[in-house]
Amino acid sequence: MFGLYLLLAFLGGVAVMFQVGVNSQLRNWVGHSVFAAFISFSIGALVLFFYILIQRVPWPDWSKTWQAPWWVWLGGALGAFYVWTTIVVAPKIGTAALMSLVVTGQMLISLTLDHFGLLGLARHPVNVWRLLGVLLLLLGVALIRGK
């Protein structure tokens, strides 16, 4: 079962890279990066809605849902920012440099979230090996950029 999760993570990464390219091209057709991101999210929302209907996923208990902390509602806004950023940046610096910087940013914030146990996540303190990993990622960004 663990192998399935590894495969899904890998395929998710593949899908993200196709998404970057597809959305960047969509921008060329619709004329603006924000419209491209909006269309991308709208189609994604429709796909999820139809999945919910087809799979008969039970609706949440809305009275409980509305009691969630304010910050749990930011996921869509953060996703929109990410998609818009990739649409704008990929054509300028290339997908390899973009993704190396995205992964580096993800690792830096992941270390912070893990170390302090933020957002309700379990604590995993920073150690020398984790810091070395981030330094190697930064070196990778420099090598991929060719500078």
Mean pLDDT of the chain: 92
Q: Please report the pLDDT score of residue 23 as a whole number.
A: 94
Question: What pLDDT does residue 147 have?
Answer: 65
Regions of the chain short of the pLDDT cut 70:
147
Q: What is the pTM of this model?
A: 0.81
Which pLDDT tens digit goes with each residue over 6-45? 899 889 989 998 999 999 999 999 999 999 999 999 999 9
Q: What pLDDT is stored for residue 146 in this prediction?
A: 80
Q: Supply the DSSP string of the chain, one letter for each residue.
A: -HHHHHHHHHHHHHHHHHHHHHHHHHHHHHS-HHHHHHHHHHHHHHHHHHHHHHHTPPPP-HHHHTTS-GGGGGHHHHHHHHHHHHHHHHHHH-HHHHHHHHHHHHHHHHHHHHHHTGGGPPP----HHHHHHHHHHHHHHHHHHT-
